[in-house]
Amino acid sequence: MTYSAASTRYDELPIRRVGKTGLQLPVVSLGLWRNFGDEAPFANSRKVVLDAFDHGVFSFDLANNYGPSKGSAERTFGQIMQRDLKPYRDELVITTKAGYPAWSGPYGAFGSRKTLISSLIVVLSKCI
């Protein structure tokens, strides 16, 4: 079945401005850590994300080590994004974190420029 977002999705949850950035976020963001990924049934993860979006949550928090297995939460969200949320991409705010060990070698962890840029490339390749 094709997903269609609730037309009332912005009627329930307050939205607040983030400092002087101009960015506005809902008062609730959905963190996709331990309950998303390879061990969670895809249908359950999909339902949680879409129900949240239908109720005004448009901010989703990910990280390159969220799983279980590392990175699988990003892959799961990416599948939901491609299947259901692609028409709403411009409405979404997807946050991530970098610096956790993600690969071997001297730039696999911490906050080097290379690690941060590489982490962004990886999350974008999974989610968009």
Phi-psi region of 19 (alpha: psi -120 to 50; beta: other; left: phi over 0): left
CATH of residue 83's domain is 3.20.20.100
How many domains does the chain fold into?
1
* Two structure tokens written together for 87: 């028409």
120 within a domain of the structure (yes/no) = yes
113 within a domain of the structure (yes/no) = yes
Report how far residue 78's alpha carbon sits from residue 5's, in angstroms, rounded to the nearest whole number.
17
8 within a domain of the structure (yes/no) = no
73 within a domain of the structure (yes/no) = yes
Look at residue 48 and tell me whether its pLDDT is greater than 70: yes
7 within a domain of the structure (yes/no) = no
The pTM of the full predicted model, rounded to 2 decimals, is: 0.86
91 within a domain of the structure (yes/no) = yes
Q: What is the pLDDT of residue 25?
A: 97
- Average pLDDT in the chain: 88
Q: Which amino acid is at 29?
A: S
Q: Which of 66-70, 109-113, 123-127 has the lowest mean pLDDT?
A: 109-113
30 within a domain of the structure (yes/no) = yes
Q: How many Cα atoms sit within 13 Å of 59 on the Cβ side?
A: 14
Write out pLDDT tens, residues 58-96: 999 988 778 888 778 889 999 999 999 999 999 999 988
Q: Which of 6-10, 105-109, 113-117 has the lowest mean pLDDT?
A: 105-109
Q: Among 77, 29, 20, which residue's Cα sits nearest to residue 56?
A: 29
